[in-house]
Amino acid sequence: MRQSSAQPRSCATYYVSQIAFFVDAAATATATISIMIPPTLSELAAAAARHPYFAERVLLHAGTTARGRHHGLELTSQYQPIFDVGSRGFPQSLAADAHAADRFGDDIGYQAITQAAPAGAESSPVRDPFNSTVDDQDLVALDRLSRLVHAINFFGVQRSGLLFLNVHERLLKSVKYDHGRHFSTVLVSLGLNPARVVIELPEAAVAHRTFLGHLTKSYQSYGFKVAGNLPNAGQILSVSDMARLDFIKINSGSALRDAVVKPLVSYASRLKIPLIFTHVMDDAQFELLQQYDVRYVQGPVFDSVGSL
């Protein structure tokens, strides 16, 4: 019988190879774990400070929150929860309590709201800085700064879910192409994932089907999800393969007033796109929405149970 020419390995060689394998595996696992550790608030603020544009515009206040500096104002973040109140086996009567939304529904994310006050004046009334911004380039700078501040404050405390960020209508018109490229580059440089950010398009953009398609594809190409605010129920027909939105939003007050909640829910279900009813003001509105099996809700009535 012909003998194999292969030389048998010694026991010592075998065990050395096995040890080397497990050492390599452990090193790989350690590296993977270190990559997955999310950056802290202070780390994100420090990384933003190394960015040429944001170096003098982002500061860490009292070690607990990031703020933006813009023309003598300090920009701060507020967040409004967005709930999935699908019953998921719970009795509908329980889910129809706005103050129980955080117990019987999951928060899918938070809507960021920009507020501003004179720098160093803690007790001054806050206001919307976008209302007083006239110059388009100044508005672009303000919009980018506020979105970065919101991202730092949101991801810096390791919140789960999605971060919904509004984009001002005038910014969309001022930036001619590559919508989302700048913000995506900044987020990636901070170690943040654009896929956890939802860019919200205003009603005026959703009203123009071609423009909506252009914006949606551009933002999605840079890793973002996109939500569109419907100016009216009929505009849901603009949502098609040309503009495959990730979320649709509509004002709950106008939808209830026009008696279009049920057809909207049905059409959005056929599109397989989550439909969020915003501006839910009180328990009465919330209960009415639940009668039509509305699943996603947002508004002042939930602020006390879900605000950051």
Q: For 245-263, write each residue's pLDDT tens digit.
A: 999 999 999 999 999 999 9
> Is position 17 within any domain?
no
Q: Indicate which CATH number applies to the domain containing 271.
A: 3.20.20.450
Question: Is residue 186 very low, low, confident or very high in pLDDT (cuts 50, 70, 90)?
Answer: very high
In 10 A of CB 266, how many CB atoms? 13
Only one residue has tokens 């544009």, namely: 53
Among 23-27, 70-74, 75-79, 188-192, the minimum mean pLDDT is found in 23-27
Q: For 23-74, write each residue's pLDDT tens digit.
A: 454 444 444 434 467 889 999 988 988 888 888 888 888 878 899 988 888 8
Q: What is the pTM of this model?
A: 0.80
DSSP 248: E
CA distances from 88 to 82, 85, 103, 280, 295 (A): 17, 8, 12, 21, 10
Identity (one letter) of the amino acid at 243? Answer: A
Task: Tell me which residue range forms the domain holding 159.
Answer: 78-113+147-306
> Is position 106 within any domain?
yes
> Is position 130 within any domain?
no
> Is position 237 within any domain?
yes
> Is position 183 within any domain?
yes
In the predicted model, what is the mean pLDDT of residues 226-254? 88
> Is position 227 within any domain?
yes
> Is position 160 within any domain?
yes
Q: For 99-141, write each residue's pLDDT tens digit.
A: 655 554 678 999 999 988 777 666 555 667 777 666 778 888 8
- What CA dihedral angle connects 132, 138, 141 and 146, to 10 degrees? 0
Cβ atoms of 297 and 289 closer than 8 Å: yes
pLDDT at residue 282 tops 60: yes
> Is position 23 within any domain?
no
Cβ atoms of 202 and 166 closer than 8 Å: yes
The number of distinct structural domains making up the chain is 1
Cβ atoms of 157 and 195 closer than 8 Å: no
Q: Determine the pLDDT at residue 122.
A: 62
Q: Determine the pLDDT at residue 273.
A: 94
